[in-house]
Amino acid sequence: MKKVVLLTMFLGIGWGGFAQQPQTTDSPLVHDPVMAKQGDTYYLFATGEGVSVMSSKDLKTWKFEKPVFAEAPQWAVEAVKGYKGHTWAPDIIYHNGQYHLFYSCSAFAKNTSVIGHATNPTLDPADPDFKWTDHGKIIQSVPNRDMWNAIDPNIIIDDDGTPWMSFGSFWDGIKMVKLTDDLMQVAQPEEWHSLCSRPRSFGLDDKDPGDGAVEAPFIMKHGDYYYLFVSFDYCCRGKDSNYKVVVGRSKSVVGPYADKEGKPMAKGGGTLVIEGNEAYAGIGHNAAYHIDGKDYFLCHAYSIAEDGAPKLFIREMTWTADGWPVVNY
C-alpha cells in the first residue's frame, strides 16, 4: 500500500515544487521505480505528482525531468475519490513504435483504484516529437465488487507476442489480464488469471485490504522461465518498513508460479531475493531488466541512516546455476 503523506514528504516533486528540486543527484529519493533505455540515456519513472521522471547516462547521476502529467488527468480525478494527481507505481514498455506508460490512481488502503495508460513516441524531452498522450482507463477496481486492487501494473509480452498485464496489492493478491495488441484495453473475450496470494484473515469486510501483504508484481523472462517478482509485507513506514522481494517461476507466463522449494505462489510461496539489513529497513517494489548484456534489479530501499527515506537501489543481478536470481547489497 502507498502512503501518500510519506511519499509527498520524501519526493516533493510536484507541479508547483518542481523548480525547487536540485537539477541532478547521485542519491535520489524515489518510490516504485521502473526504467527504460533510449539511445544512451536511461529514463526512470516513479510514484509522484503526475508521475516523477529522471534521466541518467550512467545509472549513477540522475537529472530531474518534468513529470509526465502537468496536471491530474480529469477522468481519473472523477473516477477515484480523493485522487488529486499523486500517481503511483508506473510501468514503462516500448511496443509497436511507442513508449507505453501504465500508472495507478488510488487512495490509501482502498481499492477504489484505476490503472491508466499513456503513450509517447520518444522519451527524450528535447525531441520535437516528444508528447505524452493519455488514453485513459485500462481497468478499475470497485469496493464490494472486486477482491483485487487495480494498482501496480506491469506489462510483459510473452514469447507468442501476446501482451499481459499483472497488477494487484493486498486483498486476494496478484492478478493478470490479457491486453489487446495495441495495449489500449483488455482483450476480448476477457482472460484473467490469479498469480500470487497470501493468507487473508477470515471474516474481514471485503472493503478491508486485509493482512495478505503482497503487491508490486514484475515479470521477467530468463532462459526457459518467466520469473514473477512480488513484494511481501509493508512499505511506506520509514524505518519501520519491512518490505522484501520474493520470486517464483513458471514456463508459462500465466503460471502457475512456484518458488525454489516448489510451493505455489498462489498459496503463499516465494523464494527470498532481498530484504532489509543493517543499512535498509525494507527493500521492495522492484523491476528487473536485461539491458546491454547485463541484468539489472532496481527498487526503493528505506535508508536507516537517513531516517527511513526511500532511496533508489540499483544492482546488477546474477543467476545461480539452477536458474534463480541473486541480488547483493
- Cite the active site residues: 32, 215
Instruction: Decide: 62 and 77 in contact? Cβ < 8 Å.
Output: no
Give the phi and the psi of residue 11 in degrees, each rounded to 5.
Answer: -80, -50
Cell numbers standing for residue 197: 496470494
Q: How far apart are CA 319 and CA 295, in angstroms?
A: 9
DSSP structure class, residue 82? T
CA-CA-CA-CA torsion sign (162, 267, 211, 280): negative
CB contact burial 56-94 (16+ within 10 A = b; e otherwise): beebeebebbebbbeebbeebeebbeebebbbbbbbbbe
Helix (H) or strand (E) holding 74: helix 74-79
Q: How far apart are CA 153 and CA 322, in angstroms?
A: 29
CB contact burial 207-231 (16+ within 10 A = b; e otherwise): ebbbebbbbbbbbbebeebbbbbbb
